[in-house]
Structure 1
Amino acid sequence: MSGNDKALAKIDKTDRKILEQLQKNGSLTNQQLAEKVGLSPSPCLRRVRSLEEAGIIVRTATILDHKKLGLSLTAIILIGMDRHTPERFADFEEQISNYPEVQECYLITGQSADYMLKVVVPDMDHYHQFLLNRITRIPGVSGVHSSFVLRRVIDSTALPLGYLS
C-alpha cells in the first residue's frame, strides 16, 4: 500500500451479508434487510450506519434500463493525449466530468491510449455529434478509437465480496 492509501476496512461475516444484500437491492427497508441477514432491525441499522460512516457504502443508486429510455448505443472510447503532464490530465478529467453521456472514465496503462471511457447515447448520429463537438475539442486529445457494444454479457455494479474475511 502506498502512503496515500487508507487502511482497509475491517468487516465481519454479518457486514458482508449486509453489503451483498444491499448490492442486490439498495431499496430494501431496514426490516427487510434485517430479516435477510438474520438480525433484528436495531443492530442491522447500526451496522448499516457504521458501514456508511466508514465510507464503505458510498451511496445508493437506482439503475435505469438504458434501452427503455432510448439510449441504445454504448461506446467504449480509447483516448490518447498529446502530452503526459498533470495539468493536461487534470484539464481533460475536469472537462469530461461535465458530460452526462460519460458513465465511466479510467486513466489506463497497457494500451496505446491514456483514457478509456464508457459512453451511452441514443444512436450513432448522437455519438458522432458527441465525438466531434465534445471529445475532439478537449485540448490535448490526440487520438480517439471507438468500439461499440453489441451485447452486454455481464452488466453488474456489485463488488466481489467473497475475498473479504
Structure 2
Amino acid sequence: MPNPLDKTDRRILAALQRDGRLQNLELAREVGLSPSACLRRVRLLEESGVIERYVALLDAARIGAGFTVFARVWLAGQDQATVERFIEAVRGFPEVTECHLMAGDCDFLLRVAVADLDAYRRFQVEHLNRIPGIQSVKTEIPMQRIKQSTQLPL
C-alpha cells in the first residue's frame, strides 16, 4: 500500500482480524464509515496485499491434529541447493504449519501439528529425516500453550 495505514484502516483491520466473516454493513457500522466507503477501503487493503486472504481457524484437536511440536533442524550444509531442497520438501508436508529459516543455533524451526506423539515420530522417521541434507533434528514438546494468536498488533 503506497500510503501508510490511517486510523480507519487500522480499525478495519482489527475488526477483520477478530472476525473475518463480518458483513460489510456491520464492519462499516463498527468503524464509523458508510458501507460504500468501507467496502472501497477493504478492497484497497486487499488489492495492496495488506489483507492477504481470509481463512477459517480450526480446532486442531477436533480434526486430529491437536498435538504440536517444534522441531529444530540443522542441515549438513547451508549451500543454496541444500536449503532449497529442504524448503521444497517441507512445503509439501501438511503437518508442518510453520517453517522459519533461522539465524542462530539451528538452520530451521518447524511447527508441526499431528494427532499425538506416535504420529509425530512416524512423521519424523518417514518424512522429515528422509529429506536429503538433514544433519540433525531436535524436537521440543510444549507442555502447555500459554498464548496463540493470529492477530497482529496494529
Short-chain TM bin? over 0.9
- Using the aligned pairs only, state the percent identity: 42
SS at match of 2:60: coil
Deviation for aligned residue 1:70: 2.4
Deviation for aligned residue 1:79: 0.1
* TM-score, with length taken from structure 2: 0.96
SS at match of 1:157: coil
Change (3 A) 1:40 1:70: same
Q: Which residue of 1 aligns with 2:37?
A: 43
Measured against aligned partners, the alpha-carbon deviations of 1:29-49 in whole angstroms (never above 9, x if no partner) come to 111111111111100000000
User: What stretches of structure 2 of length at least 5 have no aligned partner?
Assistant: none
- Cα pair 1:9 1:54 within 8 Å, conserved: no
Q: Which residue of 2 aligns with 1:3?
A: none
* Alignment of structure 1 residues 1-165 onto 2, 5 Å: 10-111=4-105, 113-161=106-154
Measured against aligned partners, the alpha-carbon deviations of 1:15-42 in whole angstroms (never above 9, x if no partner) come to 0000000111101111111111111110
- Cα pair 1:73 1:149 within 8 Å, conserved: no
Instruction: Measure, in 2, the Cα distance between the counterparts of 1:56 and 1:37.
Output: 18
User: What stretches of structure 1 of length at least 5 have no aligned partner?
Assistant: 1-6
* TM-score, with length taken from structure 1: 0.90
Change (3 A) 1:8 1:143: farther
RMSD: 1.2
Instruction: Measure, in 2, the Cα distance between the counterparts of 1:131 and 1:9.
Output: 45
Query: May I ask how many residue pairs the two structures share in their alignment?
Result: 154
Instruction: Measure, in 2, the Cα distance between the counterparts of 1:94 and 1:20.
Output: 33
Which 4+ residue blocks in structure 1 deviate beyond 6 angstroms?
none
Instruction: Measure, in 1, the Cα distance between the counterparts of 2:2 and 2:104.
Output: 27
Change (3 A) 1:8 1:84: farther
Change (3 A) 1:8 1:75: farther
Change (3 A) 1:151 1:9: farther
Change (3 A) 1:135 1:9: farther
Instruction: Measure, in 2, the Cα distance between the counterparts of 1:68 and 1:149.
Output: 19
Instruction: Measure, in 2, the Cα distance between the counterparts of 1:110 and 1:142.
Output: 16
Deviation for aligned residue 1:71: 1.9
